Amino acid sequence: MPELPEVETTRRSFADRIQGARVLAVRLGKPLRWPLGCAPETLVGQSVGAVARRGKYLWMPVGARGGLLLHLGMSGSLAFEATPAEPGPHAHFDLVTTSGTLRLVDPRRFGAVVWSAALDADPAARLLAGLGLEPFDPAFTGAHLHAKLRGRRVAIKQALLAGDVVVGAGNIYACEALFEAGIDPRTPAGRISRPRCERLAVAVRRILGQALELGGTTLRDFRDAHGMEGRFQRHAKVYGRAGQPCPSCATPVRRTVQGQRSTFYCPHCQRR
């Protein structure tokens, strides 16, 4: 599933090129998770504004009265090309502009392209309402994390994945951040002390920052709008390394399952 680093990498790969372009046509394929919410022809002739990101959503202003909220779902990707190929069976949305065509390809069709009058108006406001802080927001500190985790019985990894405390710490990045912070992923979130929350907040920011520098993670099919793969997976210290030696202590990395997601950790370096 594309997480914050993949979505931000995608945004950076086409945002400058599409900004200021005029919409020439809109093509819809098979239905996505939610309907577009407007007649496609109403977008034609409108100019595209600066593309922004909130969590795993992209916001693309189109014209002066709203914009498109995009989500890549479980397996989606965006491509931006001057002369794209004929749409294949998994190409479900084309925004044809004077600068090129932005195409959403999504084999599982859990992604979405939704019209909204503004970010603070429905449906955008409703979809974004439960999101936590951005990891690079100065307000995301150990104190914030400790306050938000207080009283929670759920495991710390599950609390990170929920996205209501901080956005972007998806499965891979949560595993890596917890390893860096020395915290067992099964530890009840409410038991994490203030000093450990400080270390975890720093680790989350560092891991996500590194992932951004490396263009995200490509395990199967993620590509940015240029078609480039991510490289973070080559630097993972525990994720996907079950049975291999921990890079810090050589203890074999273990795998367990939490909430139907694989969790990787070092039983020696990460303590409850």
Task: Give catalytic residue positions.
Answer: 2-3, 56, 261
Three-state DSSP class for residue 266: coil
Q: Is the alpha carbon torsion for 224, 226, 229, 235 positive or negative?
A: negative
Residue with tokens 């450990």: 196
Q: What are phi and psi of 163, to 5 degrees?
A: 80, 0
Q: DSSP label at 271?
A: B
- For residue 31, with 0-12 CB atoms within 10 Å meaning exposed, 13-18 middle and 19 or more buried, which class applies? exposed
d(CA 63, CA 48): 6
Q: What is the strand order of the sheet 52-54 is part of?
A: 52-54, 57-61, 67-71, 112-116
**In one letter, which amino acid is 58?**
L
